[in-house]
């Protein structure tokens, strides 16, 4: 484990891969890793 405390979904538009991002965020939460999404998209 890398010891990271947060996953940031940025760079390419995260709304495009929302399902993958959501699944990853749920798994991270189970392990105490927080998530942040930087987007200009709309769902």
Q: Which two tokens stand for residue 42?
A: 């709309």
3-state secondary structure at position 28: helix
**Angle value at C-alpha 17, between 40 and 19, nearest 5 degrees:** 115
Q: What is the pLDDT of residue 3?
A: 79
Is 28 among the domain residues?
Answer: yes
Is 1 among the domain residues?
Answer: no
Tens of pLDDT, residue by residue over 1-38, are 577 899 999 888 888 888 999 999 999 999 999 999 98
Q: Which two tokens stand for residue 8?
A: 């940031």
Q: What is the pLDDT of residue 4?
A: 82
Is 21 among the domain residues?
Answer: yes
Is 32 among the domain residues?
Answer: yes
Q: What is the pLDDT of residue 39?
A: 86
CA gap 38, 13 in Å, rounded: 8
Is 43 among the domain residues?
Answer: no
Q: How many domains does the chain have?
A: 1
Structural domain span for residue 30: 6-37
Is 42 among the domain residues?
Answer: no
Q: How far apart are the first and last CA of the chain?
A: 32
Is 17 among the domain residues?
Answer: yes
């Amino acid at each position: 484990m890398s010891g990271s405390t947060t996953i940031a979904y940025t760079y390419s538009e995260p709304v495009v891969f929302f399902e993958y991002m959501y699944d990853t965020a749920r798994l991270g939460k189970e392990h105490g890793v927080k998530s942040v999404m930087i987007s200009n998209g709309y769902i």
